[in-house]
Amino acid sequence: MTGAGAISVCETNSCAFLAYHGASPHVRLDIEPDCMLISASSEARPFNTVFAPTLAADDLGPRVREVMRGHMTHGRPPVWWIGPSATPADLPEQLVTLGFLPMAAIQLMEAQLTDEAPRLPRVHVRAVRTQEELAEFVGVHQAAYGSAYDTARFTYRVLASLSLTDDAPLQHFLVRAQRAAAAVAVASAFRHDGAAGLYNVAVVPAARGRGYGTAVTWAALADSYARGLRTATLGAEGEAVGMYRRLGFIARGELARVAYAPEMP
């Protein structure tokens, strides 16, 4: 159960990360008094999401249906992200009662950044600065998660429409086993309000279990540390939680998720 409380740096960063994509002409961002919505014409995640919900308990059912109708006018069926500060406190359970499908929760985690590097494999790290490097970044993500070509292509279009310069708040990284080799791992870091959020961590299947996920995570965090940031946040699922704990991250609550069901009333 997600209980309402003060918004954490983890929630603040994840909401700002989603909203940042609204600067792309391929994505629509709507800011409502009680929630935010990012919608798109593709199934690509996280581009169809309702987030930062603070709904009134006495008008929940009608308001949820209103939000869904508005969202699906502009995009595909959304996933709701429900952090610890969401209201009402039992919003995930109430949405399931309304017909939504529960999804696995994401563990919100936070760490204090230092310059003490863990043991890492020898790799070559490159920040994404060109369209060609961005295509490689998206390709690694596609291989890691088995995304359809059209989905990956849409992700590329969105990210390509955002800044790839050194001063952009969203930075992407490639890790190669050797300088001239193809990238085997990727990650992104999003700077907001003094904290660095870690996103898009992926390793191609053939290269897993060799420390490349840790290496690209460290590359993104080290870049953030060099820029003066001292707090890092992320959302982890499954076995990744253990890896991030070994890097010094601690749990800061859960991000519940529910998905639209076609048979909803």
Domain ranges of the chain: 9-107+254-259, 124-229
pTM for the structure as a whole: 0.92
Tokens of 144: 């890691």
Which residues, in sequence order, are CB contacts of 183 under 8 Å at separation 6+? Answer: 126, 136, 137, 139, 140, 174, 175, 176, 204
CATH number belonging to the domain at 9-107+254-259, selected among 2.40.160, 3.30.1690, 3.40.630, 2.20.180: 3.40.630
Residues 195, 167 contacting (CB under 8 angstroms)? no
Asked if the model's pLDDT at residue 1 lies above 50, the reply is no
Tell me the Cα Rg of the chain: 18
Tokens of 50: 């309702």
Q: Using alpha carbons, list the distances in angstroms from residue 99 to 62, 75, 211.
A: 13, 19, 41
Topology (CATH) of 124-229: Aminopeptidase (3.40.630)
Strands 49-51 and 79-82: parallel
Q: Residue 176 — very low, low, confident or very high, per pLDDT cuts 50/70/90?
A: very high
Q: Residue 238 — very low, low, confident or very high, per pLDDT cuts 50/70/90?
A: confident
Residues 18, 36 contacting (CB under 8 angstroms)? yes
Asked if the model's pLDDT at residue 216 lies above 60, the reply is yes
Domains 9-107+254-259 and 124-229 share a fold: yes
Asked if the model's pLDDT at residue 6 lies above 80, the reply is no
Please give the share of the chain, as a percent, with pLDDT higher than 90: 82
The whole-chain average pLDDT of the chain stands at 92
pLDDT given for residue 14 in this prediction: 95
Asked if the model's pLDDT at residue 120 lies above 70, the reply is yes
Q: How far apart are CA 116 and CA 13, in angstroms?
A: 24
